[in-house]
Amino acid sequence: MDTPARVLTQAPLGSPFDLNVAQRGDALELLRSLLTTITPLVFFDPQFREVLHKLAYGNEGTRQVERCNLPQMSADYIDACCREIARVLVPSGYCMRWTDTFGLGEAHHLRIADVLKCVDLMAWDNQRQGQGRRTRRRGTYLLVLQKPPLHAKATWGDHRIPDRWVERIPHPRSQHPHTKPIGLISRLIGAVTKPGDLVVDPAAGSFTGMHAAHQLGHEFIGCDLAYCGGES
C-alpha cells in the first residue's frame, strides 16, 4: 500500500524508535520512550491468549499456527501498557483497545478504569466464522477508552460511525493473523485527531494504523514484537 513520503524520521526526545516506519520493538518500551501528553490517539491490540487456555482445545498449534506463534502479553503487562498509554495521551484523548469476547466478558478494561474510562463499545464483523464452544465468533470488539476529563462532542468529530462495523479483509492472515479494518481505523483517526497529529500504535501488527494515518496526513509511531521487516 502506497503512502505519502514523510518528513520526520526521529521520534521525540531521542527515543530509540523512529517515526513513520514499520519496525520491530516492545510495546511497553516504546510507550515509556514517549513524552507525556504527546498524542490524542493510541491504538492498542494486545496479543493475549488466555481465552485459548480456558477453551483448552489442545490443537491450536495446527488450527491457528500463525496466532500461536505470536509473542504473548500477560494481563499485568497489558495493564502496564494501558497506564503508559494514559500518560502519553492528552487530556480527553482516546485509546482504541481491541478485545475478544472473553476479554469483554471478563471486563479486563476495568482493571485500569482509574486512568482510562470506557465510553463506548464497537463490534467489528469481519464476515468470517471463527472459533467458539457455543456461538461462533465473527469478528471482534473495540473498546473506546478515554482519558479524563470525559468529553464527547468536543473531542469526537464524526458522529456517523456505526457501532456495528462490517468490513471484510481479504486473506487476513497473509500479512498478519490479526490484521484490522483500515476503513474503521481511518474513520476513528479522522474522528478524534487533526491533520499532523501523532498517532501511536505500540502493538501495530500489520501496521494498518500507520497506512491509515499517513493517508490522512498524520505522523505515526509504532512497533510490533513480531515484525521481521519486508512488506508491512
The closest alpha carbon to 1, from 210, 226, 218, 222, belongs to 210
Check: pTM over 0.95? Answer yes or no: no
**CA 177/CA 175 separation, integer angstroms:** 7
Across 149-173, average pLDDT: 90
Q: What is the mean pLDDT of the chain?
A: 85
Across 146-152, average pLDDT: 98
CATH of domain 12-222: 3.40.50.150
pLDDT digits (tens, 9 = 90+) for 105-143: 888 889 999 999 999 999 999 888 776 667 877 889 999
User: Domain residues of the chain, as ranges?
Assistant: 12-222
Question: pLDDT band for position 159 (50/70/90)?
Answer: very high
